[in-house]
Structure 1
Amino acid sequence: MLTTVSLTVAALVFAGGVITASVNARIQEVARRADRLDRKLDLIMAHLGISEPEPAGLNRVRFLLRDGRKIEAIKVYRELTGEGLKESKDAVEKLSH
Structure 2
Amino acid sequence: MSRRRTRADRTQGAAARDARRESLFVLLARVQRGAPLTAAEAGLLRAHVEAELAEGDQARRAAAGQAAAVRREQQRTRAAEDAIAEAEQDRERALAALRDARP
Q: TM-score, normalised by structure 1?
A: 0.50
The separation in 2 between residues aligned to 1:23 and 1:43, in whole angstroms, is 30
Tell whether 2:87 aligns with 1:44: yes
**Aligned position for 1:14:** 57
Task: Give the paired residue count.
Answer: 50
RMSD value, Cα: 1.3
Q: Output the CA distance in 2 between the equivalents of 1:18 and 1:47.
A: 43
Cα separation, 2, equivalents of 1:49 and 1:11: 57
1:11-90 correspondence runs (5 A): 11-49=54-92
**Whose Rg is larger?**
2
Distance (Å, rounded) in 1 between the aligned partners of 2:75 and 2:59: 24
The runs of at least 4 aligned residues of structure 1 exceeding 6 Å deviation read none
Identity %: 10
Give the Cα separation in 2 of the matches to 1:48 and 1:11: 55
**Taking structure 2 as the reference length, what is the TM-score of the superposition?**
0.47
Distance of 1:37 and 1:24 partners within structure 2? 20
Long gaps (5+) in structure 2: 1-43, 94-103
